[in-house]
Chains A and B, each alone.
Chain A
Amino acid sequence: MRRMGHRPAGNAPQAGDVSADEMMTACAARALRNGMTCFVGIGLPSAAANLARATHAPDLVLIYESGTIGAKPGWLPLSIGDGVLADTADAVVSVPEIFNYWLQPGRIDVGFLGAAQLDRFGNINTTVIGSTYADPDVRLPGAGGAPEIAAFCREVIIIVRQSRRSFVEHVDFVTSVGYGTGPGDRERLGLTGAGPRKVITDLGVLEPDPVTRQLTLTGVYPGVSPEEAKAGTGWDLLISGSLAVLDPPSPAELSALRALQAMTPGSEGAH
């Protein structure tokens, strides 16, 4: 996981002084509405959810797969099981319960996922890189909670850096299903959630075409051209006819995010 933002809190944020991680985090935070229930993983998703809670969505319900429901950390935890999550949660439940009673029935509005590889239908690989499972070039961590988050959250937001290595024609392994092979596949597979709503990258945002379900570039950050996004995609990327230029993080968002990071214990060394 990348380290994020090492600047001390309180620096007046300047234009041009915004990291790609901060752009992605703010973009992801804005995708969350107040009062949503949100299944959170560590890293950018946790930063985004906590930024949203610190700014426009104070009643966001943060749920971590360790079984902490309604956690209210004052900083960014390093793991999904940090003590601050249990100490501040509305309820702490067992791991079988968090998956069976809370995630599986579709009670959770939005889930965040990362990806080592992603295809045009938002299918995710976090298992192995290489042509054979048994003898991989790179062994990745594996599934964790992701397949069920992808299946059962009402919607999914994917956060991933965009490059030809990560945005591929075919994923080497389907760890978590996006739109499968295309329209109708989620329904056929019994996946009750709607699937990926947004893919947030370091270049911009992709959203599924409502008919074909193919990920389409719908927004770019200031200074990013659609050609750059195409160059960073291993398939023929579709560009929306109404491509938006996304607002950079506001000074208030940057201050809140950097304050969260500065509050994190050991943030100068450990995170």
Chain B
Amino acid sequence: MARIVSLAEAVAAAIHDGDSVAMEGFTHLIPFAAGHEVIRQERRDLTLIRMTPDVIYDQLIGAGCASRLIFSWGGNPGVGSLHRFRDAVENAWPGPLQLEEHSHAGMANRYAAGAAGLPFAVLRGYGGTGLESLSGLDGQPAVRPITCPFTGERLTAVAALTPDVTVIHAQQADRAGNVQLWGITGVQKEAVLGARRSVVTVEEIVEALPPRAQAVVLPSWTVDYVARVPGGAHPSYALGYSQRDNDYYVAWDAISRDRERFLRWLKTDVFGAPDPPGLAGPGTGREE
């Protein structure tokens, strides 16, 4: 059964140095506040997993929390590069970052295999690309050709993703810790069900979840920790609660481009802004 705790307690209990951690949310419902709490608690040597690292992992990578990254698209959506990610890969700052990369379809299927309790998933794809011959983390390939036992067709197998911890943001939980999210639901259900532990931050805690067609419901017994963090997806958004802060994504480009400016942002907007961290950021102008 999920325990309803503070964000700081949830991160302290669920995420440890050296863990593999998936923070999911496909553009929508990205758990930024939880990411900032991981930075504040100074977790190290994490293997970060996420289809689109986005600004949230740019921040964690720049803060020195990660040594490895499993991903499929590492850009600032609609804006350009993730400069902290690039600095880590190109210049090993603040430390080296080992990569394992896939296509979106590959990552989505890897999560689905993890949720299904299978060792791998099968898809068409990867054929002829450079991705199929990359070595993977520690030289362990996560992509292999496979022959269909029925038709003989050549397909691609991708290894299951089973993170130590998955962290997501949702619109609602009830007092029993049942979680409901809707809108663009991405790969969050698969990422939670495939993980050993899970943390969910929510916009609000309600007496009872209102029935909602097409919502994803994660029953309390599939979740370990629930924390109420209104605005916890900012600068991403929570449909029905907030709008995507596009200005933040644009402003992040200049902040992240320069190491010193990034470090100032980290000091004022993460370490200096514990409550609620998700509401701080470039949009507030505090970083200057």
Contacts and interface: CB of A to CB of B under 8 A. Distances in A.
Contact of A96 (B74, B126, B187): B187
B104 A145 contact: yes
B26 to A, nearest CB: 5
Interface string A161-196: 000000000000111110010000100011110000
A100 B214 contact: no
B222 interface: no
A82 B89 contact: no
B244 A78 contact: yes
B249 to A, nearest CB: 7
A148 B105 contact: yes
Given A66-B184, A104-B123, A142-B71, A83 B103 contact: no
B141 interface: no
A256 interface: no
A66, A104, A192 interface centre (most CB from chain B within 10 Å): A66
B105 A266 contact: no
Nearest to B77: A79
A270 interface: yes
Contacts of B85: 139
Contact of B187 (A92, A95, A104, A139): A95
A155 B82 CA distance: 30
> DSSP class of A's interface residues: helix, strand, loop or mixed?
loop
B72 A78 contact: no
A270 B246 contact: yes
Interface string A62-102: 00011110000000011111110111000010111001100
B26 A67 contact: yes
Given A96-B108, A269-B247, A144 B73 contact: yes
A94, A100, A127, A189 interface centre (most CB from chain B within 10 Å): A94
A141 interface: yes
Contacts of B190: 94, 96
Interface residues of B, number: 57
Interface in B137-165: 153-154
Contacts of B71: 142
Contact of A103 (B105, B111, B184): B105
Interface in B162-201: 183-187, 189-190
B186 A94 contact: yes
Contacts of B128: 174, 177, 180, 185, 189, 191
B129 A175 contact: yes
B47 interface: no
A32 interface: no
Nearest to B250: A270
Interface in A139-163: 139, 141-148, 151-152
Contacts of B239: 83, 86-87
Interface residues on A, range: 35 or more
Interface in B54-86: 71-75, 77-82, 85-86
B26, B27, B189, B243 interface centre (most CB from chain A within 10 Å): B27
A133 interface: yes
B237 interface: yes
Interface in B35-50: none
Nearest to A179: B128
B102 interface: yes
B184 A1 contact: no
B119 interface: no
Contacts of A191: 127-128
A92 B185 contact: yes
A1 B79 contact: yes
A138 B102 CA distance: 18
B256 interface: no
B183 A83 contact: yes
A103 B185 CA distance: 18
A30 interface: no
A146 B246 contact: no
Contact of A139 (B72, B90, B153): B90
B103 A145 contact: yes
| Cβ-closest 8 pairs across A and B | A81-B27, A141-B75, A144-B73, A78-B78, A99-B105, A79-B77, A189-B127, A177-B128
Given A66-B28, A79-B77, 10 more contacts: A42-B78, A67-B184, A92-B184, A96-B111, A99-B105, A143-B129, A144-B52, A151-B125, A174-B129, A177-B129
Interface of B: 26-28, 51-52, 71-75, 77-82, 85-86, 89-90, 101-105, 108-109, 111-112, 123-131, 134, 153-154, 183-187, 189-190, 214, 237, 239, 243-244, 246-247, 249-250
28 contacts: A1-B80, A78-B79, A78-B244, A79-B249, A82-B244, A83-B237, A86-B239, A92-B185, A94-B189, A95-B104, A99-B108, A133-B130, A139-B85, A141-B82, A142-B71, A143-B72, A143-B102, A143-B129, A145-B105, A147-B126, A147-B131, A151-B124, A175-B131, A177-B127, A189-B128, A190-B127, A270-B247, A270-B250
